Chains A and B, each alone.
Chain A
Amino acid sequence: MGWYNKRLAKSLWVFHVSGSPCNNCDIEILDLLTPRYDIERLGIKLVGSVRHADVLLVTGVFNKKIAPKIKKIYEQAPKPIFVVAIGTCVSGGCCFKDSYNMVEKREEFIPIDMYVPGCPPKPEAMIEAVAKLVGVLNG
């Protein structure tokens, strides 16, 4: 799929999935669109439907209620799709890993390609992650 990935890398459209986060990563993702960081100049656009997306940005520890829905969202997405996990919550569970309402393995519900740790990660870190993804897609 080399030729396909190269075309995909020109403008990545992202869809944002929040799986019980604390809202902070979500706001930092929205922050990327606003004038200070303005990620649209790199061809990256936040879209309203998962069916238009090339990249899923996932935040939060998944609780038992939302995990099946996240799986459903992933199944609805057109393939190939790349999943970027934003924040410490998806990467390691943050301080919620002792909770009764969390799923054990988040990777069972959605296969994750890239982790951006941080609570919340700085917008620069997210931009770097997406730039690395573009680099990988270009081969």
Chain B
Amino acid sequence: MKANKIPIGPFHPLLEEAEYFELTVDGETVVDIDMEIGWMHRGHEYISEMKTFTQSIYLVERICGICSTSHPLACVHAIEDIDNIEIPLRARYIRTLVGELERIHSHLLWIGLAGHFIGYDTLWMWAWKYREPVLEMFEIISGNRNHYGMMRVGGVAKDVDPEKITELYKHLDMIDKKMVMVAKVVRDDPVLKSRLKGVGVLTHEAAVAYCAVGPTSRASGVPWDVRRDEPTDAYDLVDFEVIVLPNGDVYDKAVVRVLEIIESGKIIRQCLEKLKTVQGPIINNVKEISPGEGIGRYEAPRGEVFHYIRSDGTNRPIRHKVRAPSYVNIPTFTASCKGIPIADALITLASVDPCYCCTERSIKIIDQKHGHQQIDLLKSSREKTERIRREIHGN
């Protein structure tokens, strides 16, 4: 029997971003999945090479609106890695504070959207209602709801004053209470449990084989978290737990995220407590970056984000490479989507919290003479070398 193909996208009411999936189905069961990306490619790496180091931090902030702390953080880590620049203690706490606030808002956003995808709009409205105070906290700290512009090479841009800290505490107390409630809802609600348990299982072996990162891998029992294993900023100075669950289904991914929200709340509390006492500068003035290369890593809400920067001693990077967490998480669909009913496909696709804006660092090359066909760059490059070798050496 010929298999049927269901196209989803590029503009689909359930997808915020433009992306294209093709599900191959046999009756009700998904047998294969294919996807096409490149709808969001804006050429960040290329533009970054034309900007100065300070400007490129603003640029990478606009890779993704949800991870708008993670990318700049990884970027400044990479630049600081070139010269081993010291960061003042107060700046380290502020960085961690902003990073963890972002984790709360990103995870709440995901919980809301997941509820929306399975037709549980109450959860969506709830989660997004309690996301608003988090955005307000950002507004207090940085002056903007999204795109905070807080990161600088050698420190942060704005200080957190004592008045701000009292305001932040007020918001945090409210959020903490509500988060315990949301965690209870997600773990105890019978509808969510029966809808999500055992759906879209990503086994431990598959998570390791696909190099999945972040909550996607931690829900499959891979205990990897950059915050704990390679601590940067103030992560080695605060106490927190890394949440790891064994089953790998969508339910576990949801539970990992809600428990991480509560852990983030604890980290924020410790940071605010320290900011009351730790005084000093918030930025270490960096005059120039010497030639060399550096890498920066940070545990974004979706997983490990990686930036590589090479400098030639001028004021701008000559190479800037970005690897976003969704880039490795999205291929896990091929492991988790096979054999599940169509009705479960969407929540499984959403379960890794895919961010296509982060992912799309490349575009597809289409040979116009031969129509819609992808050229294998590596293969064609090797063939050309082989051809030239034959021309030179004969045979």
Residues of A within 8 A of B (CB): 16-28, 30-31, 34-36, 47-50, 61, 63, 65-66, 69, 73, 94-96, 98-102, 119-120, 122
Contact = CB atoms under 8 A, between A and B. Distances in A.
Interface stretch (B9-17, B193-201, B244-252): B9-17
Given A21-B357, A94-B62, A66 B18 contact: yes
Nearest to B363: A101
Interface residues of B, number: 39
Given A95-B47, A98-B50, A99-B47, A23 B132 contact: no
Contacts of A31: 128, 132
A24 B66 CA distance: 7
Contacts of A49: 13
Most buried by A among B11, B14, B43, B66: B11
Contacts of B58: 95
Interface stretch (B33-41, B163-171, B297-305, B367-375): B33-41
Interface of B: 10-11, 13-14, 16-18, 38-43, 46-47, 50-51, 58-59, 62-66, 68, 109, 112, 124-125, 128-129, 131-132, 145-147, 355, 357, 363
A22 B131 CA distance: 19
10 contacts: A17-B11, A18-B18, A21-B65, A21-B357, A34-B131, A35-B128, A36-B128, A63-B39, A63-B40, A94-B62
B46 A99 contact: yes
Nearest to A66: B39
A78 B227 CA distance: 51
B41 A23 contact: no
Nearest to B36: A65
Nearest to A31: B128
Contacts of B38: 65
Contacts of A69: 10-11, 18, 39
B101 to A, nearest CB: 15
A23 B68 CA distance: 10
A25 B124 CA distance: 18
Contacts of B59: 95
Nearest to A20: B40
B382 to A, nearest CB: 26
A101 B42 contact: yes
A18 B62 contact: no
Contact of A19 (B16, B18, B50, B63): B18
B39 A22 contact: no
